Amino acid sequence: MTDVANNLSAKFNDLWKKIDSEISHVDFRREEDITKMSYSDLLLYVKKDNVTQFLEKMKNNKVLDFNYLRCLTAIDLQGDGIEIVYQLYSLKHKYNVTIKTTLQNDDLTIDTITNIWRAANWHEREVSEMFGVTFNNHPDPRNLLMPEDINDSFPLRKSHPLAEIEILQGEGIDPSIVDGENK
């Protein structure tokens, strides 16, 4: 292992020990594959049914104190479902952690975390309209970016009808036209 990998391993081992000792009665696991690890975040996987309880403990536990929701997003795994990604930060301890949970395609629902972090409101609304995920008990489930009547097309899904066209955007266009010059 390189020095960087050794330092990351030591840093993440300390954080892992804290999380593992402070959070009980919730099933979660650590990412062990070095190729999937981030240089800044410890990566954890939590089952869908436990994720809300786990996140609440991550925030409210004084030893951990993950008081900042950096981001909440999703990844389309196509046939394997939608992965919900929560990125947390502890301002006190300066730790980053990424928590992932997978929703099966036949049940794209998960409980809201707006009662834990108010900032989750807009994040969840964006994930809802871009990926088709329903956040149970969300206080304001209106669309954030798209018109209200569009609720059957999810632009960030790989199965979206324009996905292939969007990849090709810009190909074959004369750069002088894009720059406003007609040489």
Higher pLDDT, residue 13 or 129: 129
Read off the pLDDT band of 47 (50, 70, 90): very high
Return the pLDDT at 173.
Answer: 53
- Taken in order 57, 58, 60, 64, is the CA torsion positive or negative? positive
Average confidence (pLDDT) over 163-169: 50
For the cut 80, the answer to whether the pLDDT of residue 183 exceeds it is no
User: Of all residues in the chain, what percent carry a pLDDT higher than 70?
Assistant: 78
Average confidence (pLDDT) over 120-146: 93
Q: Which CATH number fits domain 3-178: 3.40.190.10, 3.30.2310.20, 1.20.1300.10, 3.30.460.80?
A: 3.30.460.80
Which secondary structure element, helix H or strand E, spans residue 114, and what is its range? Answer: none
* Nearest to 133, CA basis, from 159, 113, 107, 99: 107
Read off the pLDDT band of 35 (50, 70, 90): low
For the cut 90, the answer to whether the pLDDT of residue 98 exceeds it is yes
Return the pLDDT at 91.
Answer: 94
Which secondary structure element, helix H or strand E, spans residue 3, and what is its range? Answer: helix 3-22
Return the pLDDT at 90.
Answer: 95
Which secondary structure element, helix H or strand E, spans residue 109, and what is its range? Answer: strand 109-111
Partners of 71 in beta bridges:
87
Calculate the average pLDDT of the chain: 84
Return the pLDDT at 149.
Answer: 78
Which tens digit of pLDDT belongs to each residue from 106-121? 999 999 999 999 999 9
Average confidence (pLDDT) over 19-40: 77
Angstrom CA distances, 123 to 31, 81, 143, stand at 24, 19, 11
Where are the domains positioned within the chain?
A: 3-178
For the cut 90, the answer to whether the pLDDT of residue 147 exceeds it is no
Alpha helices by DSSP H, 23-172 = 51-60, 120-131, 163-168
Q: Half-sphere exposure of residue 108, counting CA atoms within 13 Å on the CB side? A: 22
Return the pLDDT at 132.
Answer: 93
> 69 phi and psi, to 5 degrees?
-85, 105
* Nearest to 109, CA basis, from 88, 146, 81: 81
Q: How many CB atoms lie within 10 A of CB 65?
A: 16
For the cut 80, the answer to whether the pLDDT of residue 181 exceeds it is no
Alpha helices by DSSP H, 23-95 = 51-60
* Nearest to 125, CA basis, from 106, 108, 107, 112: 112
pTM over 0.95, yes/no: no
Which tens digit of pLDDT belongs to each residue from 168-179? 445 555 555 555
